[in-house]
Chains A and B, each alone.
Chain A
Amino acid sequence: MMPSLFDLTVAVPLLLGTFLTFVTSLGLLRFPDVYCRMHAAGKAGTLGVCLIIFAAVIFFAPAGPSVPIRGLLAIVFQFLTTPAATHLLARAAYLAQYPLTDRTEIDELEAYLGAYVRERYGKE
């Protein structure tokens, strides 16, 4: 089974995207606190799923424009929504005073949000 050029063009983004998705799940499982986990899910996960959709776009491209249009739309939506959701969640987690891991070197947000958090949400 010698792969043709078309097969390789579909298979390479597919394998890359699957690898990145697997790395995302490993990061979610292994990282120490919620901010690190958001880092894994927000970057590698987005790129991984976009690469898989891109592979499907290439695969269905010879059959007409219907799937490529929807697939590119899906990639645009993914790049718009996932970082926004991750940003919202990270901000909410910091405001809710979720603990940083004890391996944290520097908390740069403390200078900007620390006083606000203590005044509004009390304690600590």
Chain B
Amino acid sequence: MSPFLTVVCLACLAVLLLSGALTMVRLTIGPQAADRAIALDTITMMFIGVICLLCMLWNSDIYFDAVWILTLVGFLGSAAVARYLERGRLFR
């Protein structure tokens, strides 16, 4: 991995962590449940980005399975919150 790409990856990692911190603020103060569900969804996305960046930095693909599994199940949290808001309960 070239030094240029290492610098770019580290800078992107820093910005992603900063965005995660900002989203965490919304997760804390969000006035209602839907705001928190959206913030949690976004934090999952940022976590996927961080895993991709770490795979590139460490030059190994052993964590890459986590990426596509997280894209597959990451939306279930907000789907569950939506169902709860609509019906008032999760399961009948």
Contact = CB atoms under 8 A, between A and B. Distances in A.
The size class of the interface chain B forms with chain A is 35 or more
Q: Is the interface of B mostly helix, strand, loop or mixed?
A: helix
Contacts of A41: 38-39, 41-42
Interface residues of A, number: 56
8 A-B pairs with least C-beta separation:
A85-B75, A25-B19, A74-B68, A92-B82, A92-B85, A88-B82, A25-B22, A81-B75
A95 B85 CA distance: 8
A22 B49 CA distance: 12
Contacts of A15: 8, 12
Contacts of A93: 32, 34, 82, 85
A24 B11 CA distance: 18
B35 A89 contact: no
Interface in A30-66: 34, 37-38, 41, 45-46, 48-49, 52-53, 55-56, 59-60, 63, 66
B86 A7 contact: no
B10 to A, nearest CB: 11
